Amino acid sequence: MATPEAFEADPSLVWEFYHYRRDVMGTKHPNRAHKALAEFQKKNPERFTLITQNIDRLHQAAGSTNVIEMHGSLWQTQCTKCGIAKENRTM
């Protein structure tokens, strides 16, 4: 599902897959690890950048800033025609 080829073959199926994932993630909350990292960052803002493979934005919901999402975000889409990115929901 998470490939350009899958999207090209069946865009509706891929959209449904990601809509479902966003619906599920909308019910989730940061855990203690997310909160601990956010607290550490608050105490060390100049020395800490959070680099994550997570696409759920739970680090930001816990209060982290300066987060690099290596694999993107469930909450941001980009038009395949014009390239404009859109935020679908903020946490």
Dist CA 58 CA 42 (whole Å): 16
Query: Token digits for 21?
Result: 């994932």
Domain spans of the chain, in order of start: 4-87
The per-residue pLDDT for 78 is 86
Hey, which residues are catalytic here?
Answer: 71
Q: 58, 64, 61, 69: which is closest to 39 by C-alpha?
A: 64
Q: What is the pLDDT along the chain (91 residues), one digit of tens a residue?
A: 888 899 999 999 999 999 999 999 989 999 999 999 999 999 999 999 999 999 999 999 999 999 999 999 999 988 888 989 888 765 5
Specify the pTM.
0.81
